[in-house]
Structure 1
């Protein structure tokens, strides 16, 4: 065991067939540094798209993602490899809150979301995670994730119209790169597509580099203090459910790939992401979540060492301390964002459907069918309800509908015996398919 907590895997140079580098192991430091930087590349595109779309400073978001990753590793006892990047679940509530009360109010919403998630983490750590499956069975979780992505579709179209040619090139590049390349290049299709669209935008004269030239090479990011407005806080509550699903899914995925029982750290993972999101909201960054992009890197390399994530966090921190780098990222034009978000928002919607498929949600059951049907229309059509000074928009109402309708219908059907309950992680003894 090394002095900083990792044993060297094998000879430190290669991973044997069928073997994996466990979280408490590492390869040689040069190889670990290389893999850590690869994690930075993997998270880069998605992490920066959130601040670009919402108007938050990219360098500030990167700074808090680095700090959040360090906190996550510390709080989980260095047992759970993860990078905390920007969560797309915050896009709609930040945009709505910013439009009605300004960015400081939106940051207040991010901060409150983090605090709520941290509280959930404490409860899960003390009481176990079983109750999450009961409150949020797969039909509910999948519906919430899907309606968040599909609710954002008009935003993608608005950006697309800024420069249809650049947007179309960006979109087609992402599509083609996804199927033309294997391995890490294929998984970086969105980042590479954005770079291709950016080049087209440069050639078309759509980018002004004046701010890049004026920015300093080294300096602290721009920090913004939050403010709180009860009228918009309701927009952010649904995000908590999404972050719970993402974090639990991340823990389950890493456990399945490493063969380790990581259920005992689920509460710590939720608490850590909650603290990271709270700090981001307190200083001007986007809320965070565990990143599926980095799971792809681990699956490809079979290296699950947390040492690589310490390297990734350090690399991100260094980049965030260059205002010139942040200014360069901020020049990405609306047309490029339009092409990229057409794919990204759709992917978020389909990820909800993926949750249904993976958990074999039975839509011949009217309870499941009605839950998803009503909540999706409410979320996609952006239904709005004003109660005094508080406004509940599509995502908040859709989330409430998903949870409320499911439990109301399920309770009545059990009482009346009208419909058999589907086999879900909440109803199957022994847990989920992965757990069994």
Structure 2
């Protein structure tokens, strides 16, 4: 009871953890709800296991720890268990046995308290004590997060200004960053993600998924929602920072989460830049990838730099619409396929994209080469195409890639 009262009398998180570690003679670590390290101490420094050391070094869970905890169900328990529970040793990530409990404030999980086991497990009264003090620690974390939230709100406002074209020059943008206390990355790329079907709640959940993923990386970043688009700023302090690889990883996590919710995500990644004002340019490039994929209705590279001719398809489609242009060739081919399957149109498009070669086309369509040969002969008989004419072939491919799809 004396220790309990002493803990309650302390309003500094570091001081509380120092006291607990000294009295329990065990390493104690406190993390926020997003697995960021907040405080730690050990009665004996050599008692920190390898997982502790990695967390202290990176200031957050490493990716192997995160993935192992997900697979073992530890993350789910952290969010759903009220009482302290034991996490058994996991030698593959250098983790000794621990007792962990959620630290709550006003019914909300603010973070987690980890007590590494040295020798015998804590007695029942020790586990009860840990549960009782968890609420005080939850209040201390809340006070820390409240201060942090004010800064996050400033960062959110700054990036909203950036993507709403509030800053017209690099100087204005850099002054804005100083005003809002935002550290700009030296190099960055912007990724974008959009749900095929509008769902504001799911889009917000995807924002949390992206933020959680990035909090496992020591990079400058920000995730925000602009309209119906999720924008992800990924930054680094040097030109060779693995920004593009990180972008692909975050996008994949978003897609996996959406798939579990029976939803589909379209996504793209803009080029990497150094000038702060190019944040908007990179974001627009990422959106171009999404537009091109939706227009063509087929998978494209995530990266804007790999779009090639596809980056101009929307402009071509808009011009065709403005001029009322319709391809006579496509109309004739469409009439050969009255059931609306569009097999002939799809086959011709893939055939042109594979340089008019039967076998690669058949492989891409998952059909027999004879089927492709039969369809191409059908088309040739009706339209009399000259696929040796480069300009005709190019125009036909553009017509196919920009055609209206039901």
TM-score category of the 2 structures, normalised to the smaller one: under 0.3
- Determine which structure has greater relative contact order: mean sequence separation of CA pairs < 8 Å that are 6+ residues apart, divided by chain length: 1
Structure with greater strand percent: 2
Determine which structure has the larger helix proportion and give its number: 1
Q: Give the TM-score normalised by the residue count of structure 2.
A: 0.24
Greater C-alpha Rg: 2
